[in-house]
Amino acid sequence: MNAPAKPREKTRFDTIGKPRRRVDGRAKAIGQTRFADDLVLPRMLHAKLLRSPHPHAIVESIDVSRAQAQRGVHLVLTGAEFPVPYGIMPVSQDEHPLARERVRYVGDPVAAVIAVDEQMATEALQLIDVKYRKLPTVASPEEGLAKPEPRIHDYGERGNIHRNQSYEFGDVEEALARSDHVFEDLFFYEGNTHLPMEQQASLASVEGDGKLLLQSSTQNPHYLHRQLARVLQVPAAHVRVIATPNGGGFGGKCDPGNHEFVVAKAALMLGRPVKICLTREEVFYQHRGRHPVLMKVRTGVSNDGRLTAMHLQTLLDGGAYGSHGPASTFYTGVLTPVTYELPRFKFEACRVFTNKPACGPKRGHGTPQPRFGQEVQLDKIAERLKLDPAEMRLRMVTQPDSLTASWLHVGSTGLAECIRKVVEMSGWKERRGKLGAGRGLGLACSTYMCGAGVSIYWNKMPHSAVQILLDRSGQVTVYCGATEIGQGSDDVLAGLVAESLGIDPGWVRCVTGDTGITPIDLGSYSSRVTIMMGNAALQAAGRLRDTLAAAAAEALDTLPDRVIFSQDRVFAAQDAGKTMSFIEAIALAEAKFGTLAAVGSYAPPKPPGRYKGAGVGPSPAYSFSACVVETEVDEHTGWVTVPKIWIAHDIGRALNPVLARGQVIGGVYMGLGEALMEEQAFRRLPPKLSSALVHRNPSMLDYKSLTSLDMPEVEVALIEYPDPNCPYGAKEVGQGPLLPVMPALANAIHDAVGVRIDEIPITPDKVLRALEKKEKGEAPRVGPESFPSVPYPAPTFVLPPWEGGDGNELKGQEGRKAA
Amino acid sequence: MMRMPWFGWQSPATIAEAAKILAGEGPQAMLIAGGTDLVPNMKRRHQTPATLVSLRRVAELRKIANGAGLTLGAGLTLTEIVDSAAVREKYRGFWQAAAQVASPHLRNMGTLGGNLCLDTRCTYYNQSLEWRKAIDYCLKKDGETCWVATASKRCVAVSSTDSAPALISLGAKVKLVSAQGEREVAVADLYKNDGIDYLVRKPEEILTEVVLPDAQGWRSTYWKLRRRGSFDFPVLGVAAAVKLAADGTVEQARLALGAVASRPFLVDKGGEFLKGRKLTDEAIAEAGAIVASRAKPMDNTDLDLYWRKDVVGSFVGHALREIRGDDMRAMRMRIARQAL
Ligand SMILES: Cc1cc2nc3c(=O)[nH]c(=O)nc-3n(C[C@H](O)[C@H](O)[C@H](O)COP(=O)(O)OP(=O)(O)OC[C@H]3O[C@@H](n4cnc5c(N)ncnc54)[C@H](O)[C@@H]3O)c2cc1C
Ligand code: SF4
């Protein structure tokens, strides 16, 4: 196809920005959507996993003979069938679908039964005899640092330290020494889990051509595809992964899961479809959720409330496996400098293995924890310097098109506008301090990436690709590997293509998340889909539009660049009377150029930082949010109520405002749940009597998250400063709006009753304890009391852009002296 | 999903027929009403009855009879109880308790009888078989140690029924029927402070009805503490029923606690203290302290146990203030997250 002169860009939109019912809304509302567990195939068998009852043990032997002999049992699998390890990150290939010689947490899968139905499979699990030799356990990162032996893994930095790193951008100690004030605070953020409504389910089968098909509730069909091929040792081209619509993901379905390999292997061995659906308890074991993080934040501030430098230290409880841990470790610091001007920054992070389910990415991946610390500390700074917390923040927001000390490029930013908006909506200036006893307002801000600048495995290829096929009926079929996890990616895809071609989204059919049919998309994580898939879609649609314009221009007696696509029609720009339908334009173009299809793809721009590790943090764009939380605190009991939340989110452009608001409110919901109650907590029994180390509350009754009755009213403002790197300017909204909620709540509680809870979740007992301390004249604070000595390595030293750096590391002491 | 163990199923149409089946099958049979407690328990292998005797078809158990007081069939669902104008108007505390049980869906299924016979709860016990295997079980089921109080010879699992403390404060009785005959037991005497053997009901007895006495002159209320506005079991239930003279002097008072022991119980001293006094702030505070001293929460349910003990006095205060006639709607909204 030739590419003639570009048709005109529209000045007003038909679809974008208009509230619409999402394209998959009908099917979801009436129960027609087929989630993985809804799928049924003829001759389908069912799998169940036997999981370790021990937190840490050597598997000495497994005898499956009794289970194997049981009526209805077709296959029993153990680790012997799975010699090849896996892991989502190339540097952490430390899991096996079924444990080979060691189990590392209660719930670690050791064997699987495939039987005629789930009942028989469940019963046969009891007949598998496993001999374990128990090992000492590690329950916390502090303990892991103190006890290098026995090692949970035989790789990692040393002992039970999985990752350990240090970066310094400019001489931080020197800047702190020069500062008018230095604030030092400790914070703790408890781990929590994603709690998607849909439990993970997978159905594996062998297709007619002998190739493996896995239909699974996964957020990342592409990475799963790669891992399946490796672990099962079959050519990748013989494996097809279909990501079924996910009933919520939030990061919990990013890692390949043990169950996915097990059913795939079983289907290949048996030649029959094999399905599994995890129980809710098993979802808590699959986990990969928020890391518990202990933080130490030292921040230098000038008298007028500007930041001079920050030294951030984090200690992550990684759980039993690597998972996304290497990335999570970075994310407990790398986005910290994006919100406010920070001349120098030092960031040290350490992730320790423990005998608990592996932590990984959850909405906001690694960043809610340090954001909580930073934003609460800013509130303390404002209090001490007697500054209005909103004003203080407004004065130091990062500027558009600027670099951070760590060489991240901040493009568009609407943070200042977000702050102004929530200040206005909440009546901050008039109401704060005047709400009466026990009531308060708190404010906090945040930022998030619009897609990671670098893929999980190193390569130079596109991150997302879209193929569009035009049919002479007018049907537009859009193919993309992107995965609908409830966030609305299909709707974004249909909306963007429809807008670009000037048609109603109803003409568009999305075929997504199928590695056998669709071009690549890396997956639904890091808030990358709208931007990356969207840019790819606009490129593909633009190419088709050019072709259609070339054909239509002749008939309309105009030039291709004067052809306008709108309202399912094609017009000549200067004369609206000259027009034809979209279908007529297709017919002309198809007659002229042959079958109409186009592809588009997208790779993010190269980041400016050049030091090793500079790949984590860069993004084509950053979203920003500001939030005000109102609280009522009962001074007798510490009971906290949240009557209202205001939030402004800089989304660049809201493609479908209904969807965007839904994401914002959903983020606030999840953030408030984390702030008030969610805890992936563990129990160790008295060591003299037992070696047990178990999840406290692996059920939806006992793991507390907000019910609709606990959810306050949320007032949302979408701030729209279109970002040039993003499709029609649209930035992310899936993760960012969660981030400011937790610190805003902590700050509101302080405003209400004058106590600081430097720890998430903020439960009423902690508030009451702090109130009692206040009563007694002690420091009115509850939070961590100490930070262990962590053997962080010598930092990678990089000069900030304004100190003459070039984005490279300055090696050794000399570099530092040169600075 | 979690799978049920195998079981037989009987579905009698009358109380007499049900009693006969129970007598014949012995303790290996269990009654099932709404199943909202028993079914999850069976999935976790807490109970594995050989036979389930369903009460769903027994029409006699669904009666509501007005007399001097009110008689309620044990088979009424909690939604039916909540929808009853008689309960709502005359027995406010009981109505508030029933309205706060679990969630709307569970109230649609769960019955009054099942609520009173609810198994005791503990975070070491209400777990799957696999989980319990990982702690080598516990005293209440399949094990030797009580992990909550390792020195204890007794299981201290928590009574978690909302309606029982409210019914105790109202002086209600239940009727227990077996093939041998029937008897009446005060709700206050239905329970034992033992997490395993928590009911005086014999396995072959059917709880058929709840009999509420005349409530003329009584005011009652129920304050439930739980983490969320729905779904959660109580971690504290304060029920109060008070008969006031025209000048506001307390003629009789009954204060009962739920979810702070293996049984719901009457705090006699609290009621006695209030008798003859007016509900002044001081009297309320004193009554709160007396009641609080009887609460013995354990570390086997939600929320910090010391905190749960610390707030008992406040909750007694909320209850008594509401009875005094204070406007407690804002506080109720903050705690219950709904108007009650
Ligand atoms: C998520 C969840 C939350 C819950 N929250 C609460 C709560 O907040 N407050 C609360 O009080 N309860 C709560 N429950 C427990 C339960 O739903 C209610 O107590 C309900 O009323 C039980 O009634 P049922 O008919 O379903 O009982 P079933 O499950 O049918 O029976 C429970 C027990 O009572 C016995 N039984 C039933 N009927 C009779 C009878 N007529 N005579 C003798 N024995 C009988 C059964 O044999 C069984 O042992 C909750 C349950 C769940 C699953
Ligand atoms: S109180 Fe003790 S014995 Fe009873 S269920 Fe709990 S752990 Fe088991």
B21 pLDDT band (50/70/90 cuts)? Answer: very high
pLDDT over 80 (residue A4): no
A818 pLDDT band (50/70/90 cuts)? Answer: low
pLDDT over 70 (residue A5): no
pLDDT over 90 (residue B268): yes
Give residue B67's pLDDT. 86
Q: Is the peptide bond before A150 cis (omega within 30 degrees of 0)?
A: yes
Average pLDDT, chain A: 96
A65's CB contacts (< 8 A; 6+ apart) are none
Shortest distance between the Cα of B274 and any Cα of chain A, in A, equals: 22
Contact between A773 and A780 under an 8 Å Cβ cutoff? The reply is yes
Q: How far is CA A625 from CA A645, A731, A733, in A?
A: 13, 12, 10
Q: DSSP states of B150-199 as a string?
A: TT-SS--PBP--SHHHHHHHTT-EEEEEETTEEEEEEGGGSB-S-SSS-B
> What is the count of residue pairs from A and B with beta carbons less than 8 Å apart?
95
Q: Nearest-CA residue of chain B relative to A278? A: B1
CA distance A398 to A401: 9
Give residue A3's pLDDT. 39
Angle, to 10 degrees, between the axis of helix B281-294 and the axis of helix B312-324? 140
pLDDT over 90 (residue B252): yes
| Span B64-96, pLDDT tens digits | 998 889 999 999 999 999 999 999 999 999 999
**Nearest ligand to the C-alpha atom of residue B261:** 2
Shortest distance between the Cα of A283 and any Cα of chain B, in A, equals: 11
CA distance B115 to B226: 17
**Nearest ligand to the C-alpha atom of residue B119:** 1
| Span A741-776, pLDDT tens digits | 999 999 999 999 999 999 999 999 999 999 999 999
| Span A477-524, pLDDT tens digits | 999 999 999 999 999 999 999 999 999 999 999 999 999 999 999 999
How far does the centroid of ligand 1 lie from the alpha carbon of residue B126, in Å?
Answer: 14
A819 pLDDT band (50/70/90 cuts)? Answer: low
CA distance B252 to B313: 20
| Span B158-203, pLDDT tens digits | 999 999 999 999 999 999 999 999 999 999 999 999 999 999 999 9
Q: What is the 8-class DSSP label of residue B338?
A: S
Q: What is the 8-class DSSP label of residue B138?
A: B
Helix (H, G, I), strand (E, B) or coil at A697: coil
Find, among B38, B17, B78, the residue nearest to B206 by Cα: B17
Please report the sign of the dihedral spanned by the C-alpha atoms of residue A35, residue A37, residue A38, residue A44: positive
Nearest to A686 among B150, B302, B303 (CB): B150
Q: What is the 8-class DSSP label of residue B135?
A: T
Task: Report the share of chain A in percent with pLDDT over 90.
Answer: 97
A576 pLDDT band (50/70/90 cuts)? Answer: confident
Average pLDDT on A402-427 reads 98
The amino acid occupying position A803 is E
Give the domain A25-33+461-602 fold.
Answer: Aldehyde Oxidoreductase; domain 4 (3.30.365)
Instruction: Supply the residue whose CA is at minimum distance from atom 45 of ligand 1.
Output: B114
Average pLDDT on B247-263 reads 97
CATH number of A167-180+185-191+289-453+611-782: 3.30.365.10
Phi and psi for A128 in degrees, rounded to 5? -90, 125
CA distance A577 to A557: 12
CA distance B131 to A107: 9
Average pLDDT on A158-175 reads 98
| Residue B312: both structure tokens together | 């008992």
CA distance B124 to A730: 49
Pocket test for ligand 1, best of B57, B117, B198, B223 (most atoms within 8 A of CB): B117
What CATH architecture applies to the domain A42-135+195-286? Alpha-Beta Complex (3.90)
Interface test with B, best of A190, A632, A689, A772 (most B CBs within 10 A): A689
Category of B190 on φ-ψ map: left (φ > 0), alpha (ψ -120 to 50) or beta = alpha
Find, among A620, A652, A656, A623, the residue nearest to A738 by Cα: A623
| Span A266-305, pLDDT tens digits | 999 999 999 999 999 999 999 999 999 999 999 999 999 9
CA distance A565 to A571: 6
Give residue A1's pLDDT. 37
Extents of the domains making up chain A: 25-33+461-602, 42-135+195-286, 167-180+185-191+289-453+611-782
* pTM score, whole prediction: 0.97
Instruction: Supply the residue whose CA is at minimum distance from atom 37 of ligand 1.
Output: B114
| Span A305-323, pLDDT tens digits | 999 999 999 999 999 999 9
| Span B133-149, pLDDT tens digits | 999 999 999 999 999 99
pLDDT over 70 (residue A201): yes
The arrangement of strands across the sheet holding A293-301 comes to A759-760, A181-189, A293-301, A307-319, A344-353, A161-169, A796-798, A809-810
Give residue A574's pLDDT. 86
| Span A585-644, pLDDT tens digits | 999 999 999 999 999 999 999 999 999 999 999 999 999 999 999 999 999 999 999 999
> For residue A450, how many C-alpha atoms fall within 13 Å in the half-sphere facing its CB?
33
